[in-house]
Structures are given as structure tokens and as C-alpha cells.
Chain A
Amino acid sequence: MEQVHGLVALACGLIIGLGAIGACIGIALMGGKYLEASARQPELMNALQVKMFLLAGLIDAAFIIGTGIALWFATSTFLA
């Protein structure tokens, strides 16, 4: 049982951690590009903002799904 607990803990850390790396890099790249683009063409800021939020949702989705699954694993293992 201890070994299962340890493996689940490791797996949850990996799911959340690797997902967070991907989502953060994605959001950072997109946010940076958005700032660059709106500094270059401020009149496009509103149109770009809508698209940025749309993409933020798409980028975040996989990470949040992974977090949910990892939390479910963790609670069903450690709190049962």
C-alpha cells in the first residue's frame, strides 16, 4: 500500500507539474506576442484581446483537465 501511495503521489506531481510547464509556456508566449502586437498596432487591441482569451481557454483546458484528474487520484488514494 505504501508503494501505491508513493507512486500515486509521484504521478500526481508529474501530471500537474508537466501540465503546468506546458500551459505556462503557452500562455507566456501568447501574452508576449499579444503585448508586442498591441504595442505595434494599438487599434487592434480589442479584436486581439477576444482572440487572446479564446486561446487562453484552449491552452488552459488540457492543464485544468489534468489537474482535475490528478486531484481525483490523490483524494481517492489518500483520503479513502
Chain B
Amino acid sequence: MATGTEAAHGPTPGEYIAHHLTHFNGTGGKQAALVDFSLVNYDTLFWAVAMGVLGCFVLWLAARKATSGVPGRFQAAVELLVEMVGDQAKGLIHSPESRKFVAPLALTVFVWVFLMNAMDFIPVDLIPRLWEMIYGGMGHDPHHAYQRVVATADINATLGMSITVLLICLFYNVKIKGAGGWAHELVSAPFGTSKNPILAVVLGLVNFAMQIIEFAAKTISHGMRLFGNMFAGELIFMLIALMGAAWTGYNAPSILLFLGHFVAGMAWTLFHILVVVLQAFIFMMLTLVYVGQAHESH
């Protein structure tokens, strides 16, 4: 967790948190504009890809050694996971044709989001501190070495994933209902249509607006929910680390704060295990629910 080395000319708590909340985006500082498509958060990109590769590797390892005989513990665990996702997919998506693609997608989403969330369990200062040494060693200013390891605590990553889910939903809408059928649904659900042409146009506009609002709300809440939970969790880990960072020597307040750091950090980590798994599960379930909705015609 927090190291005591900041004590000499350490950052203030506000600076410490701000430093830990800045992405490594190549500009050596915070993103200035709220929306700036010319920047890439390299840390998010790196950790997301690394976790994806790790997840694929672990599942590949299980698949490579899989036997039809008595499975080992590792294979049994992976089988449990695959079956759990498969069961959920069966309950929510009734077309076996679509399930061939969507069930593996859901498994990938679950494993990937879980691994990205689980980066929260690594002590908050460990990887940023290592990165500071590497960045300093490469001849840059170590005070501007920013690194955030929880990819899902970056709204760009979570909204990117939820927009991908939206695109998959649009694809299945067109595939299952046909372009004409879907266009008809866009203007006739949820309020229906009318025989009177003027009323039909009015209802069509209202229906279309409702559909757009529904798609936007689904996508934004899908991404924001994961981001919000992970960001809040990461922030609370940093606040807990501040207690240990207040170390000034072997005196009573420092020792009490250190104990507080230890106890609070452990309690939050234990609670966070639940949050990490739940949020990965919810993200997967909502992916399945949304794709399932794309299959239903009104």
C-alpha cells in the first residue's frame, strides 16, 4: 500500500489523489478538454489488452489439456464457469443460432471485465511506483509518471464496451427482423400506430423518440454503472492509503493511522471482492439481456 517515503517532501493528500487519477496519455498531464479524441490513454489500453490476453491464455490452457475423462480441478473450475454462462445465455436468448456467437461473447466479457476489475486488488501504489522508476530511468521527469492500472475505472473503456454491445444489438435487430421489420418497429413500438395518417405520423415520431431514448439510456447506464463502481472503489483504496501515508515516525497518531489503514484496507478489499465479481456478472447479464431484447419483436 502507501509507502512512507513521501514524508520528506511528499505530495499533499489532494496532490496524491490527483496524481493517481491522471492517465498516462502521452501529454504528461491531465486531459484538458472533456472530450478529446486525439488522446489515447495508453495505460488503460495496455492493461485492458494485457488482461484480455491473460484471460484468453488461461481459458486456452484449460481447453488444451481438457479430457473427456475425470477432469482435474482447473478444468472443472473452467467448466463450471462456461456452464454458468451457458445457462444464463440459454435463459435469455432463445435462438440457438445466435447463441453460438453470443454465449462465447458473454463468457469473454465476464472473464475480461472480472480480470480488469481484479487489478484493484493490487496495492494502489505498487505499479505506479514501479512505473515511476521505469519512467524516471528512461530519462523523463518521474513526477509526471502517471499510471492507472484499473482499466474499467476509465470511462473510455467501459463506454467503449457498452457501445460495442449497442452495435451488436443493432446488428441482431436487423438480422432477426430484417431492415424493414426493424424500421417498422422503430416507429410503431411502444405506443403502436394508427389508421389515421396524421395520427400515425405523430405516433411514429413519438415512438421513434422513445426508441432512441431507450437505446441511449441502456448504453450509457451500462457503461456508467461499471465505471462508477470501479472508480469509486479505486478512490476509496486511495483514501485508505492516505492514512498510512500520514506516517511521521513512531508516535501514537501515526501508529493508530497505520493500524486504521491496515484494518480499513482489509475490510474494503474483502467487500470489494463481492463488488468486482458482481459488476462483472452484471455487465455480462445486461449484455445478454440487451442482445435478447434485440431478438424480441413487439
- Identify the A interface with B (CB < 8 A): 53-54, 56-58, 60-62, 64-65, 67-69, 71-72, 75-76, 79-80
Contact = CB atoms under 8 A, between A and B. Distances in A.
Interface of B: 12-14, 17-18, 224-225, 228-229, 231-233, 235-236, 239, 242, 275, 278-279, 281-282, 285
A67 B281 CA distance: 22
B228 A65 contact: yes
A72 B18 CA distance: 10
28 contacts: A53-B281, A54-B282, A57-B275, A57-B282, A60-B275, A61-B225, A61-B229, A64-B228, A64-B229, A65-B228, A65-B229, A65-B231, A65-B232, A67-B232, A67-B236, A69-B232, A71-B232, A71-B235, A71-B239, A72-B17, A75-B14, A76-B14, A76-B18, A79-B12, A79-B13, A79-B242, A80-B12, A80-B14
Contacts of B233: 64, 68
Contacts of A61: 225, 228-229, 279, 282
A52 B279 CA distance: 13
Contacts of A67: 232, 236
Given A54-B282, A54-B285, A76 B229 contact: no
A1 B275 CA distance: 37
A60 B282 CA distance: 12
Given A54-B285, A56-B278, A75-B17, A64 B12 contact: no
A60 B275 CA distance: 9
Contacts of B232: 64-65, 67-69, 71
B278 A68 contact: no
A28 B223 CA distance: 26
B14 A57 contact: no
Nearest to B18: A76
Contacts of B239: 71, 75
A71 B12 contact: no
Given A53-B278, A54-B285, A57-B278, A68 B231 contact: yes
Given A72-B235, A75-B13, A57 B228 contact: no
Contacts of B12: 79-80
A68 B227 CA distance: 11
Nearest to B16: A79
A14 to B, nearest CB: 17
Contact of A71 (B18, B236, B279, B285): B236
A46 B239 CA distance: 37
* List of 10 A-B pairs having minimum Cβ-Cβ separation, nearest first: A68-B232, A65-B228, A80-B14, A79-B13, A57-B278, A79-B14, A57-B282, A61-B225, A64-B232, A68-B235
Instruction: Tell which of A57, A60, A69, A76 has the most Cβ of chain B within 10 Å.
Output: A57
A69 B233 CA distance: 11
Contacts of A56: 278
Q: Which of A68, A69, A80 neighbours the largest number of chain B CB atoms within 10 Å of its CB?
A: A68
